[in-house]
Structure formats: C-alpha cells, structure tokens
Structure 1
C-alpha cells in the first residue's frame, strides 16, 4: 500500500502563517482538521446560527474531500465541537441533511470557546477512499 502523504490547504492565511494543513491524505485515508465557518474574506458565516454554521462547514468539508478524490459516502468519522450544547439539535440537523444515509461515527463535544466568540461550531472529519457502506 502506498502511504504517500499529501497536504492540502483551504487557502486560509493562518495555515501558511502557522504551518498546518487543513487536510492530510495518507494513502486512501483522509484527515481534515478542525474547520469553522470562516469565509474566504475572513468573516464568520452566520454569526447567530449554529445550524447555518454547521451546514456551511459540512458543505466546505465535502468540497475538500472531493479535492482529494473522495466523497461524502466515504466519511467514517466526524467530530463536532460547540460552544454550547444547546446548539446540539441544530448541528445534528445540519449533519443529518448531508450524512443521514452514510451514518458515519459522530461525536459532539461541548467546549467553553472557539477561536472567535462568533464561532459556534468546529468540525473535524476522517474518510477512507474506497470504503463502502454495507
């Protein structure tokens, strides 16, 4: 098995400044680090809605997967972080709209804060190219 490592950037300035990758592909395995609803212009998408932020992030992550040759059906694990567990149902709703049929592992963790006060949700994702749902 070829375990060549490929680093991917989402283009966020902080990635280059601090030296981290948004996504790393090792062979058929893809790991996406914590991703928030920060838009290309640096502003946070939908500062008041955990649902809208989660949906935005999930869609952003699916696009990143496609960039690495994967797809949402190959997602095996998702970790979600929220600044308040009261947002849990909203985040779960956004998750279900995209991943209901795939049914990856899903963990939601409450945390006192994220990088900015307007960031309500952060999501990590792992996938394996070629895996199939039975």
Structure 2
C-alpha cells in the first residue's frame, strides 16, 4: 500500500530557491527540516538573541506540525544546530519550555555557518502521530 505524501509550506523565501518543504508528512511520520528564525517578512527575528531565535524556530515548527494534523506532543526527535556551541544552554532552556514533559530525544551540534549570517540556530524535528 502506497502512503500519501503531503508537502507543507512554511512560506520561507528559500523554499523555491532550494526546492524544499518546511515539512513532509508520509503516513503518521512528519519530518521538519532545518527551521531558521525567519519572520513573515522574510527577515531574521531576534538578531543576536539566541533565545528569541530559538523561540521563533519552535513557533514555526509548531505551525508546520499543526498544518500536518499534528502537534508538539508528537515530536520524537529534535536537532539544534548552533553557530556557537556556547549558546547550547540558553537554546536548551527555550526548547525545554516547549518539550519539558514530552522529552523527545535531542542532538545539539555546532556548525560553521548558515545561509544567513544573522542566524544563530536552526532546528530540525521528527514527529510520529500516535494511533
């Protein structure tokens, strides 16, 4: 049986340039790619503020999950990609405010840079809608 593939847009200006979707849902599985702290106007939210940027990423992820018929409660994995690993604790505190009781697995890593020099973080999420 072939499962339906649903593409979910987040409205990022990079979606058409790169050829990606904010999220892809196949069956009960949802994968959300690197989500940057971009506002509705396409500009970076919270320049130089890891907490504001982390919150913006998670709010975009929350919206994408809702469009897929899911919620943060279905998240099983997060990945936080940081430009400066020293920001891990502040970013993790914001993440915990969303996932403290759900406790999905997490990976935190430092990368050298993002497409936009103002981004301090991108977050990826995998979710599975429970039956």
Q: What TM-score does the superposition give when structure 2 sets the normalisation length? A: 0.95
Confirm or deny: 8 A CA contact 1:85 1:110 kept in the other structure: yes
Q: What are the superposed Cα offsets for residues 76-121 of structure 1, whole Å, 9 maximum, x if unpaired?
A: 0000100001100111010010100000011101011111111000
- Alpha-carbon distance in structure 2 between the residues aligned to 1:18 and 1:108: 24
Report the alpha carbon displacement of residue 19 of structure 1 after superposing the two structures with TM.
1.7
Partner of 2:65: 65
Confirm or deny: 8 A CA contact 1:44 1:118 kept in the other structure: yes
Partner of 1:12: 12
Runs of 4+ in structure 1 over 3 Å off: none
Partner of 1:92: 92
Unmatched tracts of structure 1, length 5 or more: none
Report the alpha carbon displacement of residue 11 of structure 1 after superposing the two structures with TM.
1.3
Q: What are the superposed Cα offsets for residues 12-36 of structure 1, whole Å, 9 maximum, x if unpaired?
A: 2221233211100000000001010
SS of the residue 2:113 aligns to: coil
Confirm or deny: 8 A CA contact 1:2 1:27 kept in the other structure: no
RMSD: 1.3
Report the alpha carbon displacement of residue 2 of structure 1 after superposing the two structures with TM.
5.7
User: What count of residue pairs does the alignment treat as equivalent?
Assistant: 131
Residue 63 of structure 2 corresponds to residue 55 of structure 1: no
Partner of 1:33: 33
- Alpha-carbon distance in structure 2 between the residues aligned to 1:2 and 1:62: 27
- Alpha-carbon distance in structure 1 between the residues aligned to 2:124 and 2:35: 6
Unmatched tracts of structure 2, length 5 or more: none
Partner of 1:3: 3
Confirm or deny: 8 A CA contact 1:46 1:53 kept in the other structure: yes
- Alpha-carbon distance in structure 2 between the residues aligned to 1:38 and 1:65: 17
- Alpha-carbon distance in structure 2 between the residues aligned to 1:62 and 1:26: 18
Confirm or deny: 8 A CA contact 2:10 2:22 kept in the other structure: yes
